[in-house]
Amino acid sequence: MPELPEVTTTTKKLNEILPSLKIVSVWTNYNSSYFYGKENIKDPKYFAKFKKEAIGSKIISSYRIGKNVLIDIQKPKIKDKKTILIHMKMTGHVLYGKYKRAEIEEMVSGERKKVNGWVPVDKGPLQDKFNQYIRLVFELSNGNFLVLSDARRFAKVCLISDRVVKEFKDLKGLGPDPTEKEFNLKRFKEILNKKPVGKIKSILMEQELISGIGNIYSDEALWMTEIHPEEKPSRLSSTEIKELLKNIKSVLKKGIDFGGDSTSDYRQPDGTPGNFQKHHKVYRRKNEECLKPKCSGTISRIVVGGRSAHFCDTHQKLKR
DNA sequence: TGCAGTGTTGCTTC
DNA sequence: CGAAGCAACACTGC
């Protein structure tokens, strides 16, 4: 589900809601997949520690690093803060709403298959779908709940107690953030120089090189720049690299401005879908006509680095 | 019925 | 040894 704009949308909303609320209690029904200790090893016993740290803590703020949701928390009278890291992977949803406490408690303990939660915007079957896959629940001091719904159980939750969050294993290896001012042409060229003969789409999505870009936004940025997804960086002109950088930044901004992409099932914390999917030029438009003005091409789909890549067969040609 | 899917990891093969 | 390929994770929707 989430790439940089979706995660940004989520953390921005969380940051409007959560700061100064306290975590009253925490439940999970999927210990073994979610809690990682300092060594970053999956182990159900870490949930006990996670719970102990979380309960009684006040939420300070929420922000994004790469595709990770970070939530800083702090216990009263304790100087050091801790940080909750949530990676939503494919089907994770961080949602905030009203639930009946008894129902959600029963559900998470496995006594109930689903709850009638409050994810207000979706009136259709998706609402049930989200509530059916709630894996982790934070009860908050205002009586509302912050929950992680995750059908495929790929999501990851960690508690970071290190003072320097960026030194945490999952975050340390991430490449620079393309929305930062410091991510300039010089920096971008240095990155591309590391992989002169790689496939440009795969490079854009490699989190160790650049953090935050995934399948949707890489397709869109390459379409805008008229570059084939399998093109080698060594064949790109200086002008193309400059344009590509500009388009990456603008398409990510557009994704954020539209509240994320709900092609699949991304939802903002209050259940609202994003709108970027209404503005795709290529992603998931296989066999449809190219939307570039005056281009009469058709959108093709191929597999690049194990992922689907969409491009126009006419204005995104491989250089020979 | 079958296959593709917004992400990442870890193992295998070249 | 590094890079690339591929299955796995678990489930939905077309």
In a domain, A308, yes or no: yes
Residue appearing with tokens 């719904």: A149
User: Nucleic chain B: which protein residues 276-305 of A have CB below 7 A from it?
Assistant: 284, 301, 303
Domain boundary (A150, A172, A194) is at A172
Domain shared by A141 and A53, yes or no: yes
Domain shared by A191 and A79, yes or no: no
Domain shared by A158 and A192, yes or no: no
In a domain, A177, yes or no: no
Q: Which domain holds residue A270?
A: 185-312
Provide the pLDDT for residue A130: 83
The tokens describing A237, both together, are 């002109």
Domain shared by A135 and A93, yes or no: yes
Domain boundary (A129, A148, A172) is at A172
Q: Is the CB of A216 under 7 A from strand B?
A: yes
Angle of helix A4-17 versus helix A238-257 axis, rounded to 10:
40
In a domain, A122, yes or no: yes
pLDDT in tens, chain A (320 residues): 589 999 999 999 999 999 999 999 998 877 655 665 555 556 667 788 888 899 999 999 999 999 999 999 999 998 889 999 999 988 899 999 888 888 888 877 777 766 666 555 555 566 777 888 888 999 999 999 999 998 888 888 888 886 778 888 888 889 999 999 999 999 999 999 999 989 999 999 999 999 999 999 999 999 999 999 999 999 999 999 999 999 999 999 999 999 999 888 899 998 888 999 999 999 999 999 999 999 999 999 999 988 999 999 999 998 87
- The CA–C1' separation of A306 and C5, in angstroms, is 8
In a domain, A318, yes or no: no
Q: Which nucleotide is nearest to A199 (CA to C1')?
A: C4
In a domain, A291, yes or no: yes
What is the CATH classification number for the domain harbouring A203? 1.10.8.50
Domain shared by A167 and A284, yes or no: no
Domain count, chain A: 2
Domain shared by A155 and A32, yes or no: yes
Domain shared by A155 and A222, yes or no: no
Could you give the C-alpha distances from A183 to A64, A108, A240, in angstroms and in order?
16, 42, 16
The tokens describing A234, both together, are 């060594």
Residue A195: exposed, middle, or buried by beta-carbon count in 10 A (0-12, 13-18, 19+)? Answer: middle
Domain shared by A91 and A211, yes or no: no
How far is Cα A266 from Cα A272, in angstroms, rounded to an integer? 9
Domain shared by A24 and A144, yes or no: yes
- The CA–C1' separation of A22 and B2, in angstroms, is 47
* 3-class SS of residue A83: strand
* DSSP result, A189-244: HHHHHH-TTS-HHHHHH-TTTSSS--HHHHHHHHHHHT--TT--GGG--HHHHHHH
Provide the pLDDT for residue A34: 60
Q: Which nucleotide is nearest to A151 (CA to C1')?
A: C11
**End-to-end CA distance of chain A, in Å?**
35
How far is Cα A171 from Cα A187, in angstroms, rounded to an integer? 19
Q: Which nucleotide is nearest to A40 (CA to C1')?
A: B9
Domain shared by A25 and A143, yes or no: yes
Provide the pLDDT for residue A189: 94
Nucleotides of C under 7 A from a protein CB: 3-7, 9-13
Provide the pLDDT for residue A281: 94
Domain shared by A125 and A239, yes or no: no
What is the CATH classification number for the domain harbouring A68? 3.20.190.10
Q: Which nucleotide is nearest to A301 (CA to C1')?
A: B4
In a domain, A317, yes or no: no
Domain shared by A21 and A152, yes or no: yes
- The CA–C1' separation of A86 and B1, in angstroms, is 35
* Rg (alpha carbons) of chain A, rounded to whole number: 21
Domain boundary (A106, A139, A172) is at A172
- The CA–C1' separation of A46 and C9, in angstroms, is 20
- The CA–C1' separation of A131 and C11, in angstroms, is 15
